[in-house]
Amino acid sequence: MDTDRITPVVLCGGSGTRLWPRSRAAAPKPFLQLVGDRTLFEGTLARCGDEAGFAPPVVVTGRAHLGLVEAQLPESGAKDAECRIVVEPEGRNTAAAIALAALLLPEDAIMLVCPSDHHIADTQAFRETAFRAAALAREGWLVAFGIEPDRPETGYGYIRRGEAIEGPGEGFRVERFVEKPDLARAQAFLAEGGYSWNGGIFAFRAGTYLDELARHRPAIAAEVRGAVAGGHGEGRAFHPDAAAFARIVPESVDYAVMENTDRAAMVPAAMGWSDIGTWYAVREARERDASGNAARGPADLLDCRNVLVDSDGPRVSVVGLSDIIVVVDGGEVLVTSAAGAASVGKLKGPSGG
């Protein structure tokens, strides 16, 4: 394997209940065309194409979504033939998922960990940031993308930027990671400056990550090694040993490694990023008319502002409303205010997620 290139490690799964009724357990958010004409998973792979200097990807997913992953991989070619799919027996959060991929790569491979369900509007800026992060990763840093904030967001964790790191990469030490704040703290972060959103995108050497995981979470590191040692391959898919993997205590890469290591760094990233976590975020990411409206499927909007309609069939007519979201999927209908979109995942109806 060419370790000079960056290996995308695409984390692919989840249920996306906040995007019900379109996103469900059987077809979650990564595999839906929510922005543009690609699914979010397809968009993630396209950003990390070999023409831009990336190595074949490693996709980490669950058994339930293996068919969806295989169906949405690009048309067969030399690069895709080398793609690896790691099939988790069950979800054990991101620290273990990333370790699975790391153990299947050379120690010197530079991993670019990418969630598969994000939207990035500026592909070139993403790639430039990735190569800056990779330069730092080669020096032994564990690098987070620090998303430039444009509003006092309470739904994301934050990164407090520390001193500049001399040398390649144009990065900074991480002074600290900050939990999701309340509105007052988020407003203070924005006013003070020096804070970025933690978008869950990371770069590091495979060996460096495994060393830090073993240092801070030795039990997770040992069980993942056991799961890989007892695993087996089927074509381009790799199946870890289920019994060993089941013993892993679930923990995110943030808690297990990034908040504990003394080698945490960040690179600023201004690339039109959105986690597409709610229907409000979908509305903001889509093209809208002069009144801020966006419609997909048959819709009539009269005297409306900032209305999103997404229908897979029935015509939706909206008159004289603002900041409303209407989604129709089969026999399910969602109507919410934009402000209420973050609470969709709390619905007790037949969400399927």
CB distance 60 to 101 below 8 Å? yes
What pLDDT, on the 0 to 100 scale, is given for residue 78? 44
- Residue 315: exposed, middle, or buried by beta-carbon count in 10 A (0-12, 13-18, 19+)? exposed
pTM of the model: 0.93
Rounded to a whole number of angstroms, the distance between the first and last alpha carbons of the chain is 38
In the predicted model, is pLDDT for residue 74 greater than 90? no
Cis peptide before 21 (omega within 30 of 0): yes
What pLDDT, on the 0 to 100 scale, is given for residue 42? 96
340 confidence band (pLDDT: 50, 70, 90): very high
Cβ count within 10 A of residue 268? 17
pLDDT digits (tens, 9 = 90+) for 104-133: 999 999 999 999 999 999 999 999 999 999
